[in-house]
């Protein structure tokens, strides 16, 4: 393996964000005293997810701020269901719950431990810095992580090249040929790698087709497949 700097997306790559998101949302609704008042909790959660996805894409394009996103997703979801509740309070409760509902994707700990012995492992995430730091600590991955780069601290989000420049400055050693990012997002992780000129491994557990302009260097359906996929790049 030629790589010595391994950049990992966090959510839905190392941590099962979908599982954490559902648990955190349910805790938030309960803490707000809405669990008995919401007629269709599944529909509310589904609408929240759709609204959240649109807002995150807008954030990555630089058209909305992170602080706006965190509150607006609840405001819109509540409004769509006629719920009179403070979206600021919901946002605060949700972020607090998110830090305590960490679920590791199978193979994450072993992969990070193995790669940390080969080189340096860094986290590159568009998530909220304080929350992501707490989630990493709760996950047990922290001993294997050399640094955490967040869009909140950087001021730019993946796939912006400026985010990758910021992240790689945190590494003890960097050159393009020895760096790879592993992530599930074609439009953020893989496209960002393409623009920055580094290798990428698309984590694609669902076997989704690639209909985007992003071109991964390799692909893995399981985290256990990442190292073999990276090794295969040498002979490709």
Query: Which sequence spans correspond to the domains of the chain?
Result: 5-16+104-235, 17-98
| Residue 214 clears pLDDT 70, i.e. is over it | yes
Tell me the pLDDT tens digit for each residue of 171-198.
Answer: 999 999 999 999 999 999 999 999 999 9
Question: Does 17-98 match 5-16+104-235 at the fold level?
Answer: no
- In CATH, what number does 5-16+104-235 get? 3.40.50.1000
12 among known catalytic residues: no
Distance CA 30, CA 6 (A): 39
Distance CA 164, CA 167 (A): 5
| Residue 234 clears pLDDT 90, i.e. is over it | no
| Residue 112 clears pLDDT 60, i.e. is over it | yes
| Residue 114 clears pLDDT 70, i.e. is over it | yes
Tokens 């790689």 locate to 168
| Residue 34 clears pLDDT 60, i.e. is over it | yes
Bigger pLDDT: 108 vs 234: 108
Mean pLDDT of the chain: 95
pLDDT of 235: 53
Q: Which CATH architecture has domain 17-98?
A: Orthogonal Bundle (1.10)
Is residue 204 within 8 Å of 221, Cβ to Cβ? yes
Please, which pLDDT band fits residue 225 given cuts at 50, 70 and 90? very high
Bridge-partner residues for 220, per DSSP? 203
Tell me the pLDDT tens digit for each residue of 131-183.
Answer: 899 999 999 999 999 999 999 899 999 999 999 999 999 999 999 999 999 99
């Amino acid at each position: 393996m030629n790589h010595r700097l391994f950049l990992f997306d966090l959510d839905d790559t190392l941590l099962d964000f979908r599982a954490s998101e559902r648990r955190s949302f349910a805790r938030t609704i309960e803490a707000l005293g809405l669990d008995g008042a919401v007629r269709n909790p599944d529909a509310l959660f589904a609408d929240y997810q759709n609204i959240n996805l649109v807002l995150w894409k807008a954030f990555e394009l630089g058209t909305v701020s992170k602080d706006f996103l965190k509150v607006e997703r609840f405001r819109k979801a509540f409004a769509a269901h006629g719920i009179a509740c403070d979206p600021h309070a919901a946002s605060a409760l949700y972020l607090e719950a998110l830090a305590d509902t960490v679920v590791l994707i199978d193979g994450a700990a072993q992969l990070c431990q193995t790669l940390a012995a080969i080189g340096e492992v860094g986290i590159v995430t568009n998530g909220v810095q304080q929350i992501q730091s707490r989630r990493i600590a709760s996950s047990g991955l922290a001993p294997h992580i050399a640094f955490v780069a967040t869009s909140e601290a950087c001021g730019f989000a993946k796939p912006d090249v400026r985010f990758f420049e910021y992240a790689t400055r945190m590494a003890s050693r960097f050159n393009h040929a020895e760096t790879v990012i592993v992530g599930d997002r074609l439009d953020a992780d893989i496209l960002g790698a393409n623009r920055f000129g580094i290798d990428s491994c698309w984590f694609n557990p669902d076997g989704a087709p690639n209909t985007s302009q992003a071109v991964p260097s390799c692909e893995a359906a399981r985290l256990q497949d990442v190292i073999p996929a990276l090794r295969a790049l040498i002979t490709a």
